[in-house]
């Protein structure tokens, strides 16, 4: 009898030790238990043999340490909060970010950061002098935005209250360059809302290579219509009003100025008489007196690179690129040392490739060719005549790092591990930090030589991988299927825990689907992996398909949605749902769609246009008619509402709301500065008008990300509970 009891107890112990652990939403979105380790604050040093990154010292406070590339051994500390910051200020130094000057003799460190929009913020910045071992505030006159060292490291330009300033580090003098900055009227040196969001930068000034000139943007946004969001923090709501140009409305008038440090004079660059245009980038050439200005028409199908003389502002056109649909802006302009040629990436042959141009605007060499896209340009090692880049050459699902000679010869694959490989090179192109992962494996980080040889694994996330193994996660499996026209779409699927092929399961589809985006990628998604496995543990199949219009498959595939955002994408998602419904283990009567932002738009389009296919939809922060969204993004793909009335009004969730028969959950943040709550409010009107029954979740004081405190955990808990009851 004792042997039997012992055997039972042993079985219980074995079962409990091997049983699958259950995923808890709070552990994903509140405790962040499932976020793998990463390598933060990685900064290559000028000697090409060392790098700096943030780590904790023996007292648990952050510090910037120096490491050797060859051994990855810690060799020195350049800044520590424990040693270099007075104790009364130490609590403000999180070291979440830092930046060196060009000579790496000073460090800029932000404290008390205050977020503005997606990329912008203000902070009190401090300058640490590595030679003198002194720490001093950048300015005592208020928080600063987007500071940047001069090339010599003896000055710092920054923005405060919409004006541009220069601080002389040695003398301590603070010089005000502009004086007309005023909220919602004029901005100098940083971007307005729409440039920041859609052209992807905040710092709107640049030092010339010799530090004698400072080129900067001036935004006159006085004519731009205003939008107001409300915050409910006090007895009376607080109104926050800012400039937001919707599709077809007036944009800021943008000008480029050049300030000479020595003479104190400012000249205006000649960017033409047309004011209704874009200046998506500026970049100094290797001639310290010549600035390159990107000039793009409002339709965004013609881009000119202008060369501006810093002394008088006169300009000439260096290169012109035109497209029948639109041109994607990037940062891949690199002037070669002779300053007679430059590197540029373009889709002009149907795929994104690397070119070398002369200053006469003519192509000298097409460096990369093939029916695949270059997905990242890392830079050029002129000493050895090599360009480094990342591409989707082997598959749109995967990314590898390559080198190639300037003449397009001797291409070499530097990373071989299947999945997604990203690289961060040092300035001498002798080493790079590789970040690698695949769809089912958390990332690892390695120091590699420029030929791809692994020198040292810095982080393999072995502890994390061991921890999540207890959850026995279902793996992402990739698949393809054909549309009626013969074209193929890529997708992935996660099957339920304890999957049985002879059983039928409901399908929770997730989608983004916007132009140039990609969700079906062999890369690790920490939050998605656990979210979708939470659903898998509750008996759901989770699936995702990249529709036409998404990225890494060439220009024709990406731009097929031009002037009709939502039409083809929705057709493709419906086709994907029908394909999934043919699988023997899928319950075709229980297929739902979930999406956020563009994906929220897609979720509404799916349930409104294909009510016989989609039983439910979860739509978070959706656009409901593109006329409510911003000018730069929307007009790039749709032109203006006046030019494309049917594209706006007929292909929109508002126009298909009457068709909704399935279950709908609509989610939005009231303080969304990006996709305004107006979109949701208009959708509510359409739903009420057509007697559509739905569920709504509204989050006061929350922006497009709907996060902070318990918000995300609450949102996902309720969203999935709703799914369990309605799909």
Catalytic residue numbers, as ranges: 597, 672, 704
DSSP states of 309-332: ETTT--EEEEEEEE-SS-----S-
SS3 257: strand
CA distance 373 to 351: 5
Is residue 215 within 8 Å of residue 208, measured between CB atoms?
yes
Two structure tokens written together for 474: 């279902």
Which secondary structure element, helix H or strand E, spans residue 197, and what is its range?
A: helix 193-199
Residue with tokens 């009709």: 564
- Asked if 160 and 172 touch (Cβ cutoff 8 Å), the reply is no
The torsion of the CA quartet 438, 719, 571, 672, rounded to 10 degrees, works out to -90
346 token code pair: 């373009």
Alpha carbon 244 to chain centroid, angstroms: 20
The backbone torsions φ and ψ at residue 173, rounded to the nearest 5 degrees and listed phi first, read -70, 140
**Whole-Å CA distances, 257 to 84, 188, 455:** 38, 10, 46
**What is the gyration radius of the CA atoms in the chain, in angstroms?**
27
Strands 586-596 and 616-620: parallel
Distance CA 285, CA 308 (A): 10
* Residues 217, 204: Cα–Cα separation, whole Å: 5
383: number of Cβ within 10 Å: 9
* Neighbour count for residue 485 (Cβ, 10 Å): 6
Burial class (CB in 10 A: 0-12, 13-18, 19+), 257: buried
**Long-range contacts formed by 203-206: CB under 8 A, 24+ apart:** 203/146, 203/148, 204/146, 205/146, 205/148, 205/157, 205/159, 205/164, 206/148, 206/282, 206/283, 206/284, 206/291
């Amino acid at each position: 009898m004792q042997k039997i009891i012992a055997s039972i107890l042993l079985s219980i112990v074995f079962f409990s030790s091997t049983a699958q652990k259950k995923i808890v939403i709070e552990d994903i979105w509140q405790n962040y238990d499932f976020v793998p380790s990463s390598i933060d604050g990685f900064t290559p040093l000028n000697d090409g043999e060392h790098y700096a990154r943030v780590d904790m010292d023996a007292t648990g406070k952050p510090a910037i340490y120096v490491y050797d590339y060859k051994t990855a051994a810690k060799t020195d500390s350049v800044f520590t909060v424990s040693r270099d910051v007075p104790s009364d200020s130490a609590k403000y130094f999180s070291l979440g970010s830092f930046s060196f000057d060009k000579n790496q003799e000073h460090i800029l460190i932000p404290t008390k950061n205050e977020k503005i929009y997606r990329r912008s913020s203000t902070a009190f910045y401090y300058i640490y002098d590595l030679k003198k071992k002194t720490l001093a505030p950048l300015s005592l006159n208020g928080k600063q935005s987007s500071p940047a060292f001069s090339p010599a490291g003896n000055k710092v330009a920054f923005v405060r209250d919409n004006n541009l300033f220069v601080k002389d580090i040695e003398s301590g003098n603070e010089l005000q360059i502009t004086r007309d900055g005023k909220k919602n009227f004029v901005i100098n040196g940083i971007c307005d809302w729409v440039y920041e969001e859609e052209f992807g930068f905040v710092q709107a000034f640049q030092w010339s290579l010799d530090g004698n000139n400072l080129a900067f943007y001036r935004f006159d946004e006085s004519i731009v219509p205003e939008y107001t969001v409300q915050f409910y923090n006090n007895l009376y709501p607080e109104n926050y009003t800012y400039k937001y140009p919707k599709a077809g409305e007036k944009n800021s008038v943008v000008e480029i100025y050049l300030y000479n440090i020595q003479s104190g004079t400012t000249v205006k660059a000649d960017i033409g008489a047309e004011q209704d245009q874009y200046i998506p980038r500026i970049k100094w050439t290797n001639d310290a007196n010549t600035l390159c200005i990107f000039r793009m028409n409002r339709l965004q199908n013609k881009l000119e690179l202008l060369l501006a003389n810093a002394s008088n502002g006169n300009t000439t056109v260096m290169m012109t690129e035109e497209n029948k649909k639109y041109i994607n802006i990037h940062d891949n302009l690199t002037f070669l040392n002779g300053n007679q040629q430059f590197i540029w990436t373009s889709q002009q042959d149907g795929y994104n490739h690397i070119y070398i141009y002369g200053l006469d605007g003519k192509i000298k060499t097409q460096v990369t060719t093939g029916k695949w896209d270059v997905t990242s340009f890392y830079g050029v090692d002129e000493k050895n005549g090599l360009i480094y880049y990342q591409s989707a050459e082997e598959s749109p699902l995967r990314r590898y790092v390559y080198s190639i000679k300037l003449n397009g010869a001797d291409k070499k694959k530097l990373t071989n591990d299947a999945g997604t490989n990203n690289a961060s090179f040092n300035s001498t192109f002798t080493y790079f930090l590789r970040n690698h992962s695949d769809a089912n494996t958390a990332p690892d980080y390695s120091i590699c030589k420029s030929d791809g040889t692994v020198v040292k694994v810095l982080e393999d996330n072995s502890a994390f991988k061991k921890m999540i193994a207890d959850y026995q996660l279902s793996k992402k499996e990739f698949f393809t299927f054909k549309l009626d026209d013969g074209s193929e779409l890529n997708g992935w699927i996660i099957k339920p825990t304890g999957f049985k092929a002879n059983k039928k399961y409901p399908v929770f589809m997730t989608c983004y689907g916007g132009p140039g985006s990609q969700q079906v990628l062999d890369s690790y998604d920490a939050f998605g992996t656990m979210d979708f496995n939470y659903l898998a543990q509750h008996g759901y199949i989770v699936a995702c398909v990249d529709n036409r219009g998404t990225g890494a498959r060439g220009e024709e595939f990406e731009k097929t949605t031009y002037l009709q955002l939502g039409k083809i994408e929705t057709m493709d998602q419906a086709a994907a749902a029908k394909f999934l419904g043919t699988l023997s283990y899928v319950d075709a009567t229980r297929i739902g769609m979930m999406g956020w932002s563009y994906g929220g738009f897609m979720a509404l389009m799916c349930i409104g246009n294909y009510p016989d296919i989609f039983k439910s939809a979860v739509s978070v922060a959706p656009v409901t008619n593109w006329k409510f969204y911003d000018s730069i993004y929307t007009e790039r793909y749709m032109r203006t509402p006046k030019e494309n009335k049917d594209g706006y009004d007929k292909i929109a969730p508002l126009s298909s709301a009457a068709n909704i028969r399935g279950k709908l959950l609509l989610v939005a943040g009231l303080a969304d500065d990006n996709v305004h709550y107006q979109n949701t409010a208009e959708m509510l009107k359409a739903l009420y008008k057509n007697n559509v029954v739905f569920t709504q979740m509204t989050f006061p004081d929350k922006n497009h990300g709907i996060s902070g405190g318990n918000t995300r955990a609450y949102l996902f808990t309720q969203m999935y509970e709703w799914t369990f009851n309605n799909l």
